[in-house]
Chains A and B, each alone.
Chain A
């Protein structure tokens, strides 16, 4: 197959199969010949086509944009969230990162907050719950004033942007030994908390989002694995920002409550 300029390599795939949330799960092993031009997910596509032809159910895995921006994809590849290449989501990983004869273990993101749905697909909806808890600026449609009325200093705008680049993939949670969601949550808190538009709700937002996060996810013990795995290289500095804001928020929100 294939007439691109990549070479064909043979790899041994150990793929996690699990029929549903209640199933114990197991590994299936497949020998796969694949062009180094293929993406990792195209290799799984090809495996699925072969499985289907052979009468076996295809492996469930999720992806959509395949451009590293939607955050839908994400599996553990040889124990690493999104695999070996730095700053690269699973869908952006290509087979030229592997060698002939490699064994590749493919598992779902493993985290207490992300139950397995089937095979390699997990439920990441707790991340939506964190956003629902305050990851927004309250401005009804039509209520906004002219966009240039509030200048934003470029450094603040740039830093807010660095945080806003988070794609919500959850790799940070999967990479964390404690299944903590600090990097994701702090990216949202940092994005909004750095902008003038986000100041009015800064303290209530921080408290509410952090506490919702704690309902679903483990606690942070500063391993830094999250940032290593993050396809957008979100910085650990945002976790520090969030922690500081959380401490302040506790004080401020209590003071505000006292005034009511």
Chain B
């Protein structure tokens, strides 16, 4: 059983910790990546087949990485707990993917995308990584199009763009409301092509439950077959984690039900530092919770804020229907407070303001937990048909879920957790602090700083998988030529396998009284309350007593029925929720130590007079990366200082 103290972290002092070598090459920002590609060591084509590479996760990041490595000739083993790679959470992305193509000729460039991303991330990301991301963004669109991804086109047959998330240029490529699905199907088909070619061995319904490390280097993983329960060791020269984000620590989020932190967390326990866990992103336009049995939250596209007006009644506990509340008794609070941007203020500002009015008791709906998003004015102005043409499918989805007709009454919306910027710390090569262990996609902490821009997650996952990792991994593997992978009968593997088997039996033998979901839901309540949209010292300290207490109860009283040698979904979830408990505690500590507000991390104590996030660049322009010190001991906080040589730090204002 885990028992971590919550004492203050040992901190590694000012300046970048010696443990965190970002390996950012010297030289001019604009040519760094090109120069570095030239200077990296190569593995010649015939030698690539002497290297085994494990890729865990087959979402956008994992499928693109596994396919590309297979094409290069590496022997790849790909793992997913899904029944098919096509089901990864990436499939649910709706809005689009950014790229600095500048097809609309509206002034976009690699530098502008770089600049917007660093600024959007509230100056908490690494310049060199972000610039590389912007550079390769254009290749992603070419690659996906060649694979048959049906991006939206204009009447001339060329690719169409739209603007997204407040960007001043149109750089977002999209495929109706299914951009993630279409990109994933592209990456999945590239992956299946390599499976057919025999370069990739695909293991579906296989959950990675441990990373195996020998002499300080990652040498493999341990998986559990979700149908037979069989626990198996797999060895390789390098291990890549592409296992997604941890938004489901909140229980309710827009993430798919099975998203979890287990792979990243178990890597953390084996030595990989976990960076910036408190950076989580809230999306302002989701359908509010309707009942106690709510299982997840549904995102309503941000584009709705272009035409919908957000308001609540002036009066507290006003139970009248929207139509019965006269204009004079409505508070269009965003338009009132932010006349310049109005309903289009950034995600975090819109979210916090919704929370404020609901906390005041002015929320709407049966549970008073939402705000109105009203299309009446837009319908009166443009007509029902125009609005239906723009948003028809979203309106239908809303009606299917709520039973309310948004053409006749305003939608009700409320913020929800959507994305996690924190994750495994990686260097410029996307390698974690454990040599040979890499992290790509949402699983790493890299390119979005404290806040991710809309349509940039798909871009980053595919950049990592198609265009960055396949190069950088070669540089590291080149030095290992002639070395055999550690055999799976080595004690490091047999011990890891035994550990995973023990864990399964421990869950089954507790025989308590409450379900895994019960504890997950309760944990989610604490995390949302104290480490959600707004954090403060008192709340975070409270979280640091409540989380361990609930965790103790979970480990003593959870009830997992059935057996380990068959499909057992409660058993699967038990291990994932156990890891969420440990992560939640680290999130609270990370949030507590970061005495500033930045991006998705809003500390009530640190705000401007306008209620804007107040950064402290002198003290906190660094990445916080946490080192595991063993069960029962607090993690150590390390810092990687961030320097900004190409953008000037500025304070946002949306008034």
Contact = CB atoms under 8 A, between A and B. Distances in A.
Interface of A: 1-6, 19-20, 35-39, 41-42, 45-46, 48-49, 52-53, 55-58, 60, 62-67, 69-72, 88, 92, 94, 96, 117-118, 121, 123-125, 127-128, 131-148, 150-154, 157, 160-161, 164-165, 167-168, 191-192, 195, 197-198
B292 A127 contact: no
A45 B518 CA distance: 11
A1 B293 contact: yes
A147 B515 contact: no
A60 B569 contact: yes
Contact of A58 (B142, B256, B569): B569
Given A2-B292, A20-B566, A70-B87, 5 more contacts: A69-B91, A140-B68, A165-B178, A165-B181, A197-B146
Contacts of A64: 82, 87, 89, 256-258
B146 to A, nearest CB: 4
Interface stretch (B182-190, B322-330, B618-626, B628-636): B182-190
Interface string B94-115: 0000000101000000000000
A42 B295 contact: yes
In the A-B complex, the 9 residue pairs with the smallest Cβ-Cβ separation, listed nearest first, are A151-B157, A136-B189, A144-B146, A147-B145, A144-B142, A141-B68, A4-B290, A161-B150, A64-B256
Interface stretch (B162-170, B192-200, B378-386): B192-200
B116 interface: no
B143 A52 contact: no
A39 B258 CA distance: 17
A171 to B, nearest CB: 15
25 contacts: A3-B291, A3-B367, A35-B291, A37-B291, A42-B293, A48-B517, A52-B559, A52-B570, A56-B561, A66-B257, A67-B92, A88-B400, A92-B400, A123-B83, A131-B192, A137-B148, A142-B139, A144-B145, A154-B154, A154-B157, A161-B150, A165-B176, A168-B86, A168-B87, A195-B148
Interface in B252-298: 256-258, 290-296, 298
Nearest to B400: A92
B602 interface: no
Nearest to A119: B567
A38 B178 contact: no
Q: Which of A55, A60, A123, A141 has the most CB of B within 10 A?
A: A141
Contact of B146 (A19, A128, A137, A154): A137
A146 B562 CA distance: 54
Contacts of A45: 293, 295, 517
Contacts of B150: 157, 160-161, 164, 191, 195
Nearest to A165: B178
Contact of A132 (B157, B195, B467): B195
A34 to B, nearest CB: 8
A14 to B, nearest CB: 21
Nearest to A36: B403
A139 B146 CA distance: 7
Contacts of B296: 66
A37 to B, nearest CB: 5
B156 A151 contact: yes
Given A49-B518, A66-B296, A195-B150, A4 B143 contact: no
Contacts of B188: 131
A48 B515 CA distance: 9
A81 to B, nearest CB: 17
B561 A38 contact: no
A167 B181 contact: yes
Contact of A135 (B146, B158, B189, B295): B189
B519 to A, nearest CB: 12
B517 A49 contact: yes
Contact of A145 (B68, B142, B154): B142
Contacts of A167: 181
Interface string B148-160: 1011111111110
B87 A142 contact: no
A94 B287 CA distance: 15
A142 B67 CA distance: 12
Chain A at the B interface: SS class:
loop
A57 B514 CA distance: 13
B2 interface: no
B92 A69 contact: yes
Interface of B: 64, 67-68, 71, 82-87, 89, 91-92, 101, 103, 139, 141-148, 150-159, 175-176, 178, 180-182, 185, 188-190, 192-193, 195-196, 202, 204, 227, 256-258, 290-296, 298, 365-367, 400-403, 466-467, 470, 513-515, 517-518, 559, 561-562, 566-570
A39 B294 CA distance: 9
Contacts of A138: 193
Nearest to B465: A141
A48 B517 CA distance: 10
Contacts of B157: 151-154, 157
A138 to B, nearest CB: 6
A144 B462 CA distance: 15
A153 B298 CA distance: 34
Contacts of B568: 60
Contacts of B151: 147
B84 A124 contact: yes
Q: Which of A1, A42, A198 has the most CB of B within 10 A?
A: A42
A141 B92 contact: no
A249 to B, nearest CB: 18
Contacts of B92: 65, 67, 69-70
Q: Which of B89, B101, B196 has the most CB of A within 10 A?
A: B196
A156 B518 CA distance: 49
A110 B597 CA distance: 54
Given A66-B295, A153-B157, A137 B82 contact: no
A69 B148 CA distance: 19
Contact of A143 (B141, B145, B146, B518): B146
A94 B295 CA distance: 13
B366 A4 contact: yes
A153 to B, nearest CB: 5
A144 B141 CA distance: 9
A139 B143 contact: yes
Contacts of A154: 153-155, 157
A192 B143 CA distance: 15
A137 B257 contact: no
A88 B181 CA distance: 17
A141 B293 contact: no
Contacts of A142: 139, 143, 466-467
Q: Which of B89, B156, B292 has the most CB of A within 10 A?
A: B292
A65 B256 contact: yes
A190 to B, nearest CB: 11
Given A144-B145, A157-B157, A2 B291 contact: yes
Contacts of B64: 141
Contacts of A4: 290-291, 366-367
Contacts of B68: 140-141
Contacts of A152: 153, 157
Given A49-B517, A167-B181, A121 B466 contact: no
Nearest to A152: B157
B294 A42 contact: yes
A160 B153 CA distance: 12
A233 to B, nearest CB: 12
Contacts of A164: 148, 150, 175, 182, 185
Contacts of B190: 136, 139, 141
Contacts of B71: 140-141
Contacts of A121: 567
B422 to A, nearest CB: 23
A150 B153 CA distance: 12
Given A2-B291, A5-B366, A38-B291, A57 B561 contact: yes
Contact of B466 (A20, A37, A88, A141): A141
